[in-house]
Structure 1
Amino acid sequence: MSKLDLYKVFCMVAKSKSFSKAANDLYMTQPAVSQAIMQLERELDTRLFTRTPKGVFLTNEGSLLFEYANSAINLIHVGEEKILEFKNLTTGELKIGVGDTISRYFLLPYLEAFHNRYPNIKFKIVNGTTLEICAIIKSGEVDIGICNFPLEDPALELRPCIDIQDIFVYGEKFKEILSGPMSLDKVVKLPLIFLESKSNSRKYVEDYMMSKGIKISPDFELGSHDLLLEFAKINLGVACVTREFSREYLDKGLLYEVQLTQEIPKRSIGVCFLKSVSLSPASTKFVEILENKRGQEHFAKMQ
């Protein structure tokens, strides 16, 4: 028997004060229990029990050992129960890396759905750019990231969730100039409002325009999507934004979409995580919810 098994037998005998009763509780034969106690006593070179016709009783040395062994076995049982709780999603923590814009306009319905299904799982949300999120996934600070694609990182598993469209929007001041269809090379001659250069969204649009021989030189470079919309609303320029995240401004007539003669190709928002590490049960369930087609349809209707 392993040392752990010997201690389990020892604790059961100490509690029941009987070899035969311990044998029944452990589904063992009485000789096997007796042999286990004798083996442990030999290994420790100490007598642990006093045998009497009325049963067995711990010696002083046995009482000291029982205090520690019983605590250790109880902790093991608690650990096993915690593992089951994690597997059954009755406890645990889900750590997600995500940017403010994606969190606000995409992630919230999925967080709500997950929380309603697994209310005992705690959330830890870490904000950052796509590159920052990739770094904290690899450092183990978060379990999964919700990022702007395309993304190239051989260490990460990438799973697209929804397609999004980059567009240009403008306020009342530019309405007359931009009322008809407009080519990209003409749009860039106007005052431009873009996300800062380290943004993955900005890089995607800029790379596409460069492939068409069009170079951009923004008049404003901002740190959030909401600021892009606000700057465009007060007529500081034409802003490059995500259509799905700008619906409120467009539907209320606060901003207008530039009708491009050729749309920028769609890109994706998706979930990413380390290839080399298995996802926790909570992370696995959350990814399933993100990939659920009904959930995506629900998101599309919300927009």
Structure 2
Amino acid sequence: MSDFRLKAFYSVAKNLSFTKASQELFVSQPAITKHIRELESLYQVRLFNRMGNKISLTEAGTVLLEHCERILTEYRRLEYDMHLLNKEYAGELRLGASTTIAQYVLPPVLARFTEKYPKITVSLIDTNSRNIETALQQHTIDLGMVEGVFRLPNLKYEPFLCDELVPVVASDCPIGQSGEISLEEFKQVPLVLRERGSGTLDAIELALAEQHLKLSSLNVRMYLGSTESIKSFLRFSHSMGIVSIAALSRELKEGSFRIVDIDGLQFKRHFCFVSAQGQEAETVVHFMRFLQQQV
């Protein structure tokens, strides 16, 4: 029901790209341009400064963006409430999840959720915890799910699942054949870890700090951008990774990987919902309750 011109403007303004907006909204770039021109004609202002291949918001564009965020949020609430009168759940839900949650926790939950509530349109972005928090602050998602331990004061965090990170090696790796190594041995083990900004690395650094250790005191061979990349690396290397137990069910069952305990060192954390301060949209609250019942 919402004015598609506002959706087109909002997408261009957040992406600062007509091309990305057309891809995001599944319409042609000329159609996006037409909607923007209609808004500019309606209000007799320019909404974007065009500098070669780059664009930026004008003062009028900044004002419209502030109103646009509120208007589109209210449209989503209106759609949800009106359908609820007929005992139907409908609306839009924009999710963001850090990589581990998006790949290993959410797929079965989202499959059941979309099957049960087919009139709720769900989208999901998959990136690291820092980027999820940024997306919330920029209002490009309604709800985030992160694995980080560092929390921003202007966002609200609510734990929903306890997770354990485990040191893991390929089954034929000579490291920790007895199933356990000492803290001193661990310092010498070649490690492959997640990248800076990931909640996984945050949790690892916090656990190390409790033992008065820093990453710089370890033998970190490489930082990689996903758990799947780490697992692939470990298959061809006599190195150790530290990854979520949720990501290892198949490999442990097949016997291709094994867990190595480190004496005196454990890596535990919580997966958390993260949202902007204030009242969450009804679709957000509904999804949070559904997920908590599933995990």
Q: Structure 1 stretch 193-202 or stretch 85-94: which is displaced more?
A: 85-94
Structure 1: gaps (5+ residues): 1-78, 297-303
- Whether the 8 Å CA contact 2:96–2:124 is kept in 1: the answer is yes
| Deviation for aligned residue 1:148 | 0.3
- Counterpart position of 2:93: 94
2:280 aligned counterpart, secondary structure: coil
Within a 5 Å distance, the mapping from 1:62-211 to structure 2 comes to: 83-85=81-83, 89-175=88-174, 177-211=176-210
- Whether the 8 Å CA contact 2:148–2:198 is kept in 1: the answer is no
* Cα distance in 2 for residues equivalent to 1:238 and 1:210: 19
Q: Between Structure 1 and Structure 2, how many residues are aligned?
A: 215
- Counterpart position of 2:291: 290
* Cα distance in 1 for residues equivalent to 2:142 and 2:222: 34
Using a 3 Å threshold, how does the CA distance of structure 1 residues 82 and 133 change in structure 2: closer, same or farther? closer
- Whether the 8 Å CA contact 1:161–1:291 is kept in 2: the answer is yes
Normalized per residue, which structure has more strand?
Answer: 2
2:83 aligned counterpart, secondary structure: helix
- Whether the 8 Å CA contact 2:80–2:91 is kept in 1: the answer is no
* Cα distance in 1 for residues equivalent to 2:78 and 2:123: 24
| Deviation for aligned residue 1:236 | 4.1
TM-score by length of 2: 0.67
- Counterpart position of 1:230: 232
Kindly provide the amino acid, as one letter, of the partner of residue 146 in structure 1.
M
2:158 aligned counterpart, secondary structure: strand
* Cα distance in 1 for residues equivalent to 2:288 and 2:194: 28
CA RMSD of aligned residues (A): 2.2
* Cα distance in 2 for residues equivalent to 1:221 and 1:254: 22
Kindly provide the amino acid, as one letter, of the partner of residue 155 in structure 1.
N
- Whether the 8 Å CA contact 1:89–1:121 is kept in 2: the answer is no
Who wins on radius of gyration, i.e. which is larger? 1
- Whether the 8 Å CA contact 1:99–1:147 is kept in 2: the answer is yes
Moved over 6 A (4+): 79-82
- Whether the 8 Å CA contact 1:172–1:235 is kept in 2: the answer is no
Kindly provide the amino acid, as one letter, of the partner of residue 83 in structure 2.
E
Identical-pair percentage: 20
Q: Deviations over 1:254-285 (max 9, x none)?
A: 11110222341421112111122x22221110
* Cα distance in 1 for residues equivalent to 2:84 and 2:137: 22
